[in-house]
Structure 1
Amino acid sequence: MSPTLDAQHIIDNAPLSFVQRRAIAMIMAVSFFDGFDALIMAITAPSIAEEWGTTTASLTPAIVASLLGMIVGAVLLAPRADHYGRRPLLIAGVAIFGAMTLCAVAAQSIEQIIPLRFLAGIGLGAVIPNSYAYGAEYAPKRIRATVVTIVGASSAAGGFLGGLLASAVMPSLGWRSVFLIGGLFPLLLIPALLRWLPETVQFLTLRGKHDQARSILRSVDARAVGSFAAPLTVPLSREGTKPSIKLLFTRHLAPVTLLLCVVFFSAVLLILFLMSWIPSVLKDAGFSTGQAVFASSICNLGAMVGGVALGARIDRSKSPYHVLSLAFLVAGIAIVVTALSLGSLVVLMISLFVVGACAIGTQMCVNAVATEVYPAWLRATGMGFLSAVGRVGSVVGPSIGGALLAAQLPARTIFLLAVIPAIVAAVGMGVVGAVATSRRRIQAPADALEQSDLVETEENSGSGSRNR
């Protein structure tokens, strides 16, 4: 048998190179703008409602349309990255959500903005899971969770700075200026992505593009690659096996997939329940529009700090699931404090910072854990599916929030109801940790993806293809 080079081993053991740093910086920029765009309706809703002479609750369909689009993008587009590559899907997604956000500048009614937000959501749905997969594949294992959470923190930074920008420019320039910025800058990023966003080494290797992969690896660690043209491999590659959602539910992956579905659904429901309506709820509670939008930004600031800190902790932890379970529990406690502190702006800001750190920040780390669950050839499919499940929660969350606002419930009651999904997420991660401790299989379920699972799945689908 001819000698081979393990591409993943080279990335895991080499120092972080300039090529990796640049690739991660590019994906951070993508994540920043998707975070800005994902919250743009929540940020601008009070101003739009005021201009159009309606209520913020009446804008619920526009917020939900964006989230439905994310589900479509996550299910239909994101998994295509396992077939066509991370790079083209990421660039296409940025082009879609940038263009549709820019078009919304001309919207004159709710009916006009709804389809534009749906189409923008499709682009976001393709970008978000592939951003995490891309970051994970360019990061060495020793800092992978940290890098993935930094990618997530970049999204939170987009939401944070978007809120600050909106509070600064909307009073004088109106809400359309926010959509102009949110649409134009992602489009201006595309030339840089075309030049400096390389395809991942793992995908190139799986598709037999060894010369391209080897060229990138030489930039990572020239000594490890050497000058000879040895074939490249990646762990758990499955030649001839078509990635599909069905493979996520083979007997070794099914437990972790189902448990992560529960966590993604409840955590994203919680996050979007809060982030979509915090400005409106706080304004109804007596705060000014500027204070309400700033409070939303503080939550995103907490997400950035908490996500990176938790990611670094997970890289050093032998039981990351229990760390994440505890963090979700702390988020629930912070939400209770928020509900009880509506009379104090200072306490409110502190509690919302903790909510951001332990709800949004923890979900970033759940994404980091999830990228480790699935092998490279199935990663975009797995992350896309989990993202879609989370986006179902993201539709349910704002819809519930809009209904509660329409029912004119007190702000305190609305916040207290948000504790429920935080508890569900905490319990879900705790169960994952318990299963990992008892079976030692979920800790790296990709390693347990047996040949028999794949053969059985392919036979059931009638493909008749054989794995090596």
Structure 2
Amino acid sequence: MNLRETIDNGAMGAYQWMIVIMAAVMNLLDGFDVLALAFTASAIRAEFGLSGIELGYLLSAGLFGMAAGSLFLAPFADKIGRRPLILIAVALSAIGMLGSALISGHEMLGFWRVITGLGVGGILVGTNVLTSEYSSRKWRSLAISIYAAGFGVGAVLGGMFAVMLQAEYGWRAVFLAGAILTGLCFVILLVWLPESIDYLIGKQPKNAEARLNRILAKMGFSEHWSLPEKTEKTQKKLPIAQLFGQQYRRSTLLIWTAFFAIMFSFYFVSSWTPALLKEAGMTTEQSVSVGMMISLGGTCGALLYGLLASRWSARGVLMLFTVASACVVIAFILSAQVLWLAMLFGILVGALMNGCISGLYTLNPSIYAPDIRSTGVGWSIGIGRIGAILAPTIAGILLDQGWEKQNLYIGVGFVLLLSTAALFFLRRKSALTSL
């Protein structure tokens, strides 16, 4: 019997759910690490006397690092394995947080934020692939959604802890706490995190069969499994170039379009909503409250997507979420004058758009074969990160040119519909059953 098919069609055991929980915890710490600077921005700006532009560069440094980690660090997982990549990425994240806590000037803080972002970018790809590979077909969407929801939980908890730590010990304590927690996560992963089954079967590194059977025993497989005969492949193309080979070119361009459009829209809403609502007449407290509702809705939306996609087509549910997101984004800005309506639509916006991100994480690994899966996933997420970086800047340029905020949100609605079209055509070329 084919082991991949056996896992896909079998039940999810406790060991597999433990891997999902470990991935969710890593994503939770990522949410804390990535937003640590946002939590401490005011104190850092006051200590170093930063201008708005200088602070903006610092806030962007982590996002640039995340994009670079997804694009250039993640492909190494297809060569050295998913487990080593995750361990390297977690170590980079911990070192970056520790360095951020010990800096004496804002220039070095920017450097350490890039290092932290590199680690987070690698973690995101490695955990996405590992969660997908250890999940059964029935529960894969829910497993990835649980993992994805960790980021929002980490952001909310991080905000709460940041307030307490800063008040008592100063802003550096926030980064130090993140470094300690990430370091503890590294130790736990070093002991318990397994290697990818698909990597062991495909690449067959040293002691692969023994390692495979130890993992399978923990999953409840009593029989001994032998590795298939290894076929020597002559790959003249680099893994990145293979993404544009005849087999993957169409799917790659379509999933990149979907990632860019959804991440662009999500980060526009996340970055500009509080400021634009304040301009619309809300108080600072009210606009921040609506922003919090978007984060709260995000965690619920990721889980909702997973539950729905466990019963129906993952691609179909994702398309439904993109269309609903486009409609709700427009309804949200048109209701901005009424606080309770804005908060209600804010929750829906956060829920639906985070559900879209969970859906992308679910579909993305299924497009590529195991030998280039991390490369494919990493570059898709990296393209999405480029959209995330560009969104606040493009929105600012359009506002300076006289665009009304309502027109910006309507524009975002059309960008989301672009992702719907990309997902519709993605089905025609993919032969993978999870679509």
Give TM-score, length-normalised by structure 1. 0.82
Partner of 2:304: 309
Select 1:417's aligned residue among 394, 408, 420: 408
Partner of 2:352: 358
**Does structure 2 retain, via aligned residues, the 8 Å contact 1:45–1:56?**
no
Select 1:14's aligned residue among 10, 15, 19: 10
Partner of 1:143: 139
2:233 is the alignment partner of 1:240: yes
2:250 is the alignment partner of 1:255: yes
Partner of 1:61: 57
Partner of 2:202: 206
Describe the SS at the equivalent of 1:29. Answer: helix
Pair 1:397–1:249, CA change in 2 (3 A): same
* Offset, 1:269: 1.6
Pair 1:51–1:415, CA change in 2 (3 A): farther
**Does structure 1 retain, via aligned residues, the 8 Å contact 2:265–2:416?**
no
1:154-173 aligned at under 5 Å gives the runs: 154-167=150-163, 169-170=165-166, 173=169
Partner of 2:387: 393
* Offset, 1:194: 0.6
**Does structure 2 retain, via aligned residues, the 8 Å contact 1:306–1:361?**
yes
In structure 1, C-alpha distance between the alignment counterparts of 2:45 and 2:406, rounded to whole Å: 22
In structure 1, C-alpha distance between the alignment counterparts of 2:228 and 2:143, rounded to whole Å: 24
Partner of 2:41: 45
Select 2:88's aligned residue among 76, 82, 92: 92
In structure 2, C-alpha distance between the alignment counterparts of 1:279 and 1:59, rounded to whole Å: 18
1:66-77 aligned at under 5 Å gives the runs: 66-77=62-73
Select 2:421's aligned residue among 430, 444, 464: 430
Select 2:366's aligned residue among 358, 363, 372: 372
Residue type of the partner of 1:240? Answer: K
In structure 1, C-alpha distance between the alignment counterparts of 2:378 and 2:322, rounded to whole Å: 23
In structure 1, C-alpha distance between the alignment counterparts of 2:40 and 2:276, rounded to whole Å: 14
Describe the SS at the equivalent of 1:141. Answer: coil
2:376 is the alignment partner of 1:382: yes
Pair 1:81–1:144, CA change in 2 (3 A): same
**Does structure 2 retain, via aligned residues, the 8 Å contact 1:60–1:399?**
no
**Does structure 1 retain, via aligned residues, the 8 Å contact 2:255–2:422?**
no
Greater CA drift, 157-166 or 146-155: 157-166
Partner of 1:331: 325
**Does structure 1 retain, via aligned residues, the 8 Å contact 2:48–2:105?**
yes
Residue type of the partner of 1:420? Answer: G
Number of residue pairs matched by the alignment: 430
In structure 2, C-alpha distance between the alignment counterparts of 1:239 and 1:143, rounded to whole Å: 33
* Offset, 1:254: 1.4
In structure 1, C-alpha distance between the alignment counterparts of 2:162 and 2:190, rounded to whole Å: 29
**Does structure 2 retain, via aligned residues, the 8 Å contact 1:276–1:398?**
yes
Describe the SS at the equivalent of 2:247. Answer: coil
Describe the SS at the equivalent of 1:240. Answer: coil
Pair 1:40–1:241, CA change in 2 (3 A): farther
Pair 1:29–1:50, CA change in 2 (3 A): same
* Offset, 1:369: 0.9
Greater CA drift, 413-422 or 98-107: 413-422
2:258 is the alignment partner of 1:270: no
Ranges in structure 2 where 5+ consecutive residues have no aligned partner? none
2:75 is the alignment partner of 1:79: yes
Residue type of the partner of 1:222? Answer: F
Pair 1:289–1:171, CA change in 2 (3 A): farther
Cα deviation, 1:408-454, whole Å, max 9, x if unaligned, reads 989xx447524434422323333432452xx4x3252999xxxxxxx
Q: What is the RMSD of the two structures over their aligned residues, measured on CA atoms? A: 3.0
Give TM-score, length-normalised by structure 2. 0.88
Cα deviation, 1:290-319, whole Å, max 9, x if unaligned, reads 66555444322212211121122223224x
In structure 2, C-alpha distance between the alignment counterparts of 1:416 and 1:51, rounded to whole Å: 38
* Offset, 1:83: 0.8
Greater CA drift, 338-347 or 282-291: 282-291
In structure 2, C-alpha distance between the alignment counterparts of 1:110 and 1:288, rounded to whole Å: 31
In structure 1, C-alpha distance between the alignment counterparts of 2:243 and 2:152, rounded to whole Å: 28
* Offset, 1:21: 1.9
Describe the SS at the equivalent of 1:249. Answer: coil
Pair 1:376–1:154, CA change in 2 (3 A): same
In structure 2, C-alpha distance between the alignment counterparts of 1:51 and 1:408, rounded to whole Å: 34
Ranges in structure 1 where 5+ consecutive residues have no aligned partner? 448-468
In structure 2, C-alpha distance between the alignment counterparts of 1:47 and 1:362, rounded to whole Å: 34
* Offset, 1:255: 1.4
In structure 2, C-alpha distance between the alignment counterparts of 1:239 and 1:414, rounded to whole Å: 57
Describe the SS at the equivalent of 1:398. Answer: helix
Greater CA drift, 328-337 or 46-55: 46-55
In structure 1, C-alpha distance between the alignment counterparts of 2:247 and 2:382, rounded to whole Å: 21
In structure 1, C-alpha distance between the alignment counterparts of 2:147 and 2:375, rounded to whole Å: 19
In structure 2, C-alpha distance between the alignment counterparts of 1:91 and 1:293, rounded to whole Å: 36
Describe the SS at the equivalent of 1:221. Answer: coil
* Offset, 1:70: 1.6
Pair 1:253–1:125, CA change in 2 (3 A): same
* Offset, 1:221: 3.0
In structure 1, C-alpha distance between the alignment counterparts of 2:157 and 2:123, rounded to whole Å: 20
In structure 2, C-alpha distance between the alignment counterparts of 1:446 and 1:262, rounded to whole Å: 19
2:111 is the alignment partner of 1:115: yes
2:435 is the alignment partner of 1:444: no
Select 1:347's aligned residue among 332, 341, 352: 341
Residue type of the partner of 2:215? Answer: I
